[in-house]
Amino acid sequence: MTRRRIQARSAVSCPGTTEALQAIRIDSGRALALAVLQQHDLTGRFVAELLADLDSEHTLSRQERGLAFDVAVGTLRRRRTIDVLLKSQVRRSRGDVEPDLWRILQTGVQQLCFGRTPDHAAVDATVELTRSVDRPRWSGFTNGILRAITRQLTDRFETGPARNCVPVAIGKYRHLNSDVFSCPLTAPVDYFGEAFSLPRAIARRWQRQMRYPDLLTAGFHSLNSPITGMRVNMLRTSISNVTEALAAADVVTEPGRLEESLRLKSAGRIEMLPGYADGHWTIQDESAMLPTHLLNPQPGELILDLCAAPGGKTTHLAEISGDQATIYATDVSEERLQLVQNNVRRLGLSSVVLRRIERDGRGLPELDFDGALVDVPCSNTGVLSRRPEARWRFREHELQDLTQLQTRLLMTAFDRIRPGGRLVYSTCSIEPEETTELIRNVTQAVPSMNLRKEEMSLPGQPADGAYAALLVRDVRATPAEQPTFGPGSVS
C-alpha cells in the first residue's frame, strides 16, 4: 500500500495557539479525512477538491475512500455541534489543545454521533490515528474524551428539540445524558446554531425569516447529504429509458417534480453510470432547473446566459428550446468556458455560442436578446447541504459587496434585452438582501423593469433553497436606465 505524508507549508492558527501542522501518513480513510480537514483549515480550499487531489496519490480501497469522504464532510458540516459536545468533556481551554489533536477529536465525535461505525471501533480507530501523526502521547487523552462522549449517548430518541437532544434526522433527536446545548425556549438562536451546526449569523437570520416548521426543515436539510438530482436530456432519450438503464446497474431512482427530473437514491461514480458518456442526462438539482423553466426559451430566440459556467443552466436552456434557440454563454475566463463546452459537447447540443467577456462587461454581443438568464454569485445559504464550507464562509458584512455585484450583473444583462424581452435573475441564496429586497430596489429604480413572477424555494422543500425572479422590459422602453447602485463588476 502506498503511503504518503502531507506536510503543510506553514502554520495554522487555532484559538490561543499556533502550531506547525503535523505530517500525516495516509494509510486509512480516517487519516485521509484528517489530512483533508487539516489542509482545508490551512488553505480554505473546498473539501471535495482536496479529496480529489489526495485521492490520486494513494491506493486506498473504495470503502476507505468512502469513509474518508463521510468523515471529512460530516465533520466539516457538523463542526459547531461537535465542538459543543467536546467542550462539555474537555476541561482545558480550546487554545490549550493542539490543532491536530482537536481535529482528531472532532473526527472521532463525528463517527460516534453521526457515523455508521460501532462505538468501540470508532474510539479504537481514532486513538490509532494519533500514531499516524506521530503523537502517541495524545492517545490516552483521545481515548478518555471519546469514551466520555460515548457515555453521553443513549439509545433513546425524542421527536423535538431539547437541551439534551442532538438532531440526527427530520423529527428525530438523539437523547443525551446531560444538557449540553442552550435552551431552545429561552435561547432559540443559540440552540438552533449549536444543535444544527450553523454560525450565529445564519441561525439568527433564519429564525427571524422562517416559520418554526420551515426553520427545522431547513436546519435538517443543511445537515443531510444532498439528494443527487438528475436532468434527463429529452432530446436524446426518455425518462423510462434512463430509469431502466440505471436500474440495470443497480441504481435506484425516483421521479422528480419536473418532467425531465429524477432523483438518485444511490449513485457511486457519476461518470461511470450508464448514459453519462452518451449525453443522456446531467446532474442538476431541481431547484437549479426552475430558473430556466421560468425564462422558457423558444425556438428561434436569442438568449443570453451571462454567468454560464459550468453550463448546467446553459445546456438546460438549449434542451428546453429544442436546441433551436441561439444561446450565448458568456463568462470571464476561457477555463470556465471550457467547462461549458465540455457539457455542451457531451449532451450533443449545437445551439450554444461561447463568448468570453471582461469583468466590466466588455465583449458582450451587441445584440437585442429576447431573453437573458443571470445566475449570480451569492452567499450559497440555500445549498449548505451541497456546499458544507459555505456556512463557515458566511459574513453578514460582505452582503453589501455581493448585492452590488449582483445588481451590476442584473443591469448589464437587462441592458441587452429588447423591449418586451424577459430576464430571469436567479440565486441559490435565500437571504432577503440577495433576493426579494434586491429585486424591489432595482425595479423601483428602473421604471422599465417589471416584475412578473418570483419563486422562493426554502431548503428541504423538497430540494435546495433558491430564488428566481422573472422580469420583463417595458415595450415602450428606451435603452435601459443605469441608476447608481455603487461599485461592482461582472465576475
Give the separation between CA 430 and CA 206, rounded to whole angstroms: 9
What are the chain's domains? 5-152 (1.10.940.10), 159-223 (no CATH), 228-283 (3.30.70.1170), 286-473 (3.40.50.150)
pLDDT digits 0-9 by tens, 364-383:
999 999 999 999 999 999 99
Q: Quickly count: other Cβ atoms within 10 Å of residue 317's Cβ.
A: 31
Q: In one letter, which amino acid is 305?
A: D
Find the helix packing angle between 79-87 and 188-195, rounded to 10°: 100
pLDDT digits 0-9 by tens, 205-241:
999 999 999 999 999 999 988 889 999 999 999 999 9
Give the separation between CA 318 and CA 327, rounded to whole angstroms: 7
Burial of 378-416, coded b for 16+ CB within 10 Å and e otherwise, reads bbbbbbbbbbbbbbbebeeeebeebbbbbbbbbbbbbeb
Q: Please tell me the pTM assigned to this model.
A: 0.89
Residue 420 Ramachandran class (φ > 0 left, ψ -120 to 50 alpha, else beta): left
Does pLDDT of 489 surpass 80? Answer: no
Q: How many residues does the chain have?
A: 491
pLDDT digits 0-9 by tens, 132-181:
888 999 999 999 999 999 999 999 999 999 999 999 998 899 999 999 99
In the chain, the N- to C-terminal Cα span, in Å, equals 44
Q: In one letter, which amino acid is 440?
A: R
Cis peptide preceding 419, ω within 30 of 0: no
Does pLDDT of 22 surpass 90? Answer: no
- 251 in Cβ contact with 228 (< 8 Å): no
For the chain, what is the mean pLDDT?
90
Work out the average pLDDT over 437-459: 96
**pLDDT confidence of residue 4:** 39
Give the separation between CA 120 and CA 346, rounded to whole angstroms: 47
**pLDDT confidence of residue 270:** 85
- Strand, helix or coil for residue 90: coil
**pLDDT confidence of residue 10:** 30
Beta carbons within 8 Å of 3's beta carbon, 6+ residues apart: 25, 26, 27, 58
**pLDDT confidence of residue 29:** 92
Give the separation between CA 371 and CA 316, rounded to whole angstroms: 14
Query: Comparing 203 with 491, which gets the higher pLDDT?
Result: 203
Q: Which three cell numbers stand for residue 140?
A: 490516552
Helical H segments across 115-138, by residue range = 119-132
Whole-number percent of the chain with pLDDT over 70: 91
φ, ψ for residue 144, nearest 5 deg: -65, -45
Q: What angle is formed at CA 290 by the lines to CA 287 and CA 294, rounded to 5 degrees?
A: 160
**pLDDT confidence of residue 478:** 59
Q: Quickly count: other Cβ atoms within 10 Å of residue 52's Cβ.
A: 10
Q: Which of 135, 94, 99, 79 is nearest to 18 (CA)?
A: 99
Query: Comparing 324 with 28, which gets the higher pLDDT?
Result: 324
**pLDDT confidence of residue 24:** 79
Q: What is the DSSP letter of 330?
A: E
List the beta bridge partners of residue 176: 153
Rounded to the nearest 5 percent, the helix, strand and coil shares of the chain are 45, 20, 40
pLDDT digits 0-9 by tens, 311-322:
999 999 999 999
Does pLDDT of 482 surpass 60? Answer: no
Whole-number percent of the chain with pLDDT over 90: 81
Q: Is 258 exposed, middle or buried (0-12, 13-18, 19+ CB in 10 A)?
A: middle
Q: Which three cell numbers stand for residue 117?
A: 461505525
- 490 in Cβ contact with 360 (< 8 Å): yes
**pLDDT confidence of residue 83:** 98
- Strand, helix or coil for residue 322: coil
Give the separation between CA 296 and CA 22, rounded to whole angstroms: 54
Q: What is the DSSP letter of 93?
A: -
Q: What is the DSSP letter of 260?
A: T
Work out the average pLDDT over 427-449: 97
Cα dihedral sign, 98-388-432-397: positive
List the beta bridge partners of residue 453: 470
